[in-house]
Chains A and B, each alone.
Chain A
């Protein structure tokens, strides 16, 4: 093991494959503790595969994933589930389950056959619902909630698991923009106030740049760049990773990098405002 300080979660030269199809070879990443790490990359670049490997759902054919210095596949399943949570891309809410009952299922790794529901379980479930803003929905059926509310409930369930590390696989997919921002704000809040390490796969590069404290850009199963978004997100990198020419400007709202892709040809806006000389935004590089 290297001399430098070991992060809690890391992949050590892993080769990831589905049956014979190799997705990534000799890939190493470390997830900085207490970061909000976002993995970005084009479709089929291996970002979700990497997240599956980090959450031990995919066993690397070579190399290993380390959790607190130990190979994650050698640890007992429930023990891992007390340290590392995962919000999968799609989960099924059982028919006729209430919000409170679903969130309570997040306590499973802390429970046993004869210790099914402690006062602590009850408190944590209540707190998880409060911090995700679904406490008022506690007795509602999950089937009758909107997509955004449902995603909050699933996040509440993952929170109830009380893991210092939480992985989220495309938590904003299928949500409209209001709920996308809502979910990401919630993640940022959990990261800041509860000090948890968050790792998310996101499709939207601008969301990633805005919310991440640490960005990992993946292409073709390789890590192309990693670091704080302000250093990583440059026009060259976006072109290299996504194959899209673009400008990177300051996000007027947050000051984080904002990617403005160039179309195949410039299409001038047709309304009157476009006639005025456009205010030139500050270019990054």
Chain B
């Protein structure tokens, strides 16, 4: 057995895969390193040492301003958004038993976008209203897809097919809304839709942190039950898992995580799709790998953000463009390999 166990004298025990734990730790370090580099990057460059000093309160006033007011909140938002999207993706891929059963493929991103665009185009709403619209759009889409795919339990294929249909319909609604909009609103809508971390500050960070503080432990706490669910409903039931309740709690949490992340940074595509799969290939562990997936999502988004900001000379691209390109290639590869394996 590759699994290791930690035991205390009082009868408590934790079971873990050493490789998965190592991967998780490595990714956390990578995330911290990327975060430090990103905080130091910009018109006013700082070395990682200076960044750390400033974070510890030993920087100059200018450094303090650049780090605490401008760059740190943006990086923290990226970490939470990446983690939330990846965790949501890991849950949905596990529940649907299909790597394509990912929130950005089955329409939640599009649903959140419709919610946000309705607020922007039809009501000329504020940024806060737009964010709330996105959350509402994501949650309504999630509920609708669940109800449409539900037939004595949710089954993987139906969820993916219904979701892809819903995504296509919602995309046309998005285009319709943009044609309805005047030039200013349409520009605002397009910027929102690309998915970007530019200009994110503490007002995006705190609500996001609050939601993650509730939902992340809730999802991780149900991780063991989710592992059992991967063996089929009957087997999980026989082992004493409350099948339908576990699934509803997990899916609702995942929908909320994705919706809130989308409301904070716009629809950043393919993080949900690729992070859990990358985590899985890295850890080589069966099961949903929830925690490692989440950290992978954070690291992925920070890495994409760094590429967006630095790889194209003076042009600073929105991060959504980079994740779109990377994820698109990944999706193609996934489709081809799933087809070869006869699962599609």
- Interface residue ranges, A against B (CB under 8 Å): 55-57, 77-82, 85-98, 100-101, 104-106, 108-109, 111, 113-118, 138-139, 158, 161
Task: Find B238's partner among A85, A90, A113, A118 (CB 8 Å cutoff).
Answer: A85
Which residue of chain B has the shortest Cβ distance to A93 in the bound complex? B231
Q: B213-247: which have CB < 8 Å to A? A: 221, 224, 227-228, 230-232, 234-235, 237-242
In the assembled complex, the Cα of A77 lies from the Cα of B233 at a distance in Å of 14
Contact present for A139 and B239 (CB under 8 Å) = no
Chain B residues with CB below 8 A from A139, complex form: 1
Query: B235 near A91 (CB under 8 angstroms)?
Result: yes
B239 and A106: CB pair below 8 A? yes
- Selected from B224, B231, B239, B285, the residue in CB contact (under 8 A) with A81 is B239
With A92-B97, A92-B230, A105-B228 as contacts: A116 and B237 at CB distance below 8 Å: no
**With contact pairs A97-B286, A117-B5 given, residues A161 and B239 touching in the complex (Cβ less than 8 Å):** yes
Contact in complex: B228, A108 (CB < 8 Å): yes
CB atoms of B284 and A113 under 8 A apart: no
Interface residues of B in 1-47 (CB under 8 A from A): 1-3, 5, 7, 11-15
Please report the C-alpha to C-alpha distance between residue A95 and residue B97 in the assembled complex, in whole angstroms. 10
> Are the C-beta atoms of B239 and A109 separated by less than 8 Å?
yes
CB distance from A62 to the nearest CB of B (A): 20
Inter-chain contact B238/A86, CB cutoff 8 Å:
yes
Counting from the closest, the 6 A-B pairs by CB-CB distance are A81-B240, A88-B234, A86-B238, A78-B240, A117-B15, A109-B240
Please tell me if B287 contacts chain A, counting CB pairs below 8 Å: yes
Known: A115-B13, A116-B13. 18 other contacts (CB 8 A): A55-B237, A57-B238, A79-B240, A86-B238, A88-B235, A89-B234, A91-B234, A92-B97, A92-B232, A93-B231, A94-B227, A94-B231, A98-B1, A98-B2, A104-B3, A108-B228, A109-B240, A117-B13
Q: Mind listing 11 A-B residue pairs with CB under 8 Å?
A: A55-B237, A57-B237, A87-B238, A90-B234, A91-B234, A94-B227, A94-B230, A94-B286, A114-B14, A116-B15, A161-B238
> Closest residue to B4 on the A side, CB-wise?
A117
How distant is B194 from chain A, measured CB to nearest CB, in Å?
35
Residue from B11, B15, B284 with most neighbouring chain A CB atoms (10 Å): B15
A66 CB to closest chain B CB (Å) equals: 18
Contacts of A90 in B (CB 8 A): 232, 234
Number of residues in B with C-beta < 8 Å to the partner?
30
User: When the two chains form their complex, are residues A57 and B234 in contact, meaning their CB atoms are under 8 A apart?
Assistant: yes
Complex contacts, B11 vs chain A, CB 8 Å:
115, 118
Q: Is the CB of A115 within 8 A of B235?
A: no
Q: By the criterion CB–CB under 8 Å, are B240 and A88 in contact?
A: no
Contacts of A86 in B (CB 8 A): 234, 237-238
Partner of B3 from A96, A101, A111, A115 at Cβ < 8 Å: A101
Contacts of A92 in B (CB 8 A): 97, 230-232, 235
Please indicate the chain A residues that have their CB under 8 angstroms from the CB of B14 in the complex: 114, 116-117
Residue of A nearest to B2 (CB): A98
The answer on a CB contact under 8 Å between B239 and A105 is yes
| Cα-based distance from A139 to B2 in the complex (angstroms) | 9
Give Cα distance in the complex from A139 to B284, angstroms.
Answer: 14
Q: Mark B239-271, 1 if CB is under 8 A from A, else 0.
A: 111100000000000000000000000000000
Rounded to whole angstroms, the CA-CA distance of A81 and B236 in the bound complex is 10
Nearest A residue (CB) for B341 = A95
CA of A171 to CA of B287 in the docked complex: distance in angstroms? 25
B12 contacts across to A, CB distance below 8 A: 114-115
User: In angstroms, how far is the closest chain A Cβ from the Cβ of B67?
Assistant: 38
Asked if residues A108 and B232 are in contact (CB atoms below 8 Å), the reply is no
Q: Could you tell me the distance between the alpha carbons of A253 and B205 in the complex, rounded to whole angstroms? A: 75
Q: Which of chain B's residues have a CB closer than 8 A to the CB of A80?
A: 240
Q: Which residues of A contact B284 (CB under 8 A)?
A: 96
**Minimum CB–CB distance for A253 against chain B, Å:** 33
Q: How far is the CB of A223 from chain B (nearest CB, A)?
A: 24
The reply to whether A82 and B231 contact each other, CB–CB distance below 8 Å, is no
Q: In the complex, A178 Cα to B310 Cα: how many Å?
A: 65
How far does the alpha carbon of A2 sit from the alpha carbon of B232 in the complex, in Å? 38
Residues of A within 8 A of B235 (CB): 88, 91-92
Query: In chain A, what residue has the closest Cβ to B237?
Result: A57
* CB neighbours of B240 from chain A (8 A): 77-82, 108-109
Q: Given B5, B232, B241, which contacts A88 in the complex, CB threshold below 8 Å?
A: B232
Contact B5 A105 (CB under 8 A): no
In the bound assembly, the distance between CA atoms of A118 and B5 in angstroms comes to: 9
Interface residues of B in 171-206 (CB under 8 A from A): none
Query: How far, in Å, is A148 (CB) from chain B's closest CB?
Result: 19
Contact A113 B286 (CB under 8 A): no
Residues of chain A with a CB closer than 8 A to B287's CB: 94, 97
* Chain B, residue nearest A158 (CB): B238
Q: Smallest CB-CB separation from A169: which chain B residue?
A: B234
Q: Tell me whether B231 and A105 are in contact (CB under 8 A).
A: yes
B96 to chain A, nearest CB (A): 13
Residues from chain B with a CB closer than 8 A to the CB of A116 are 5, 13-15, 224
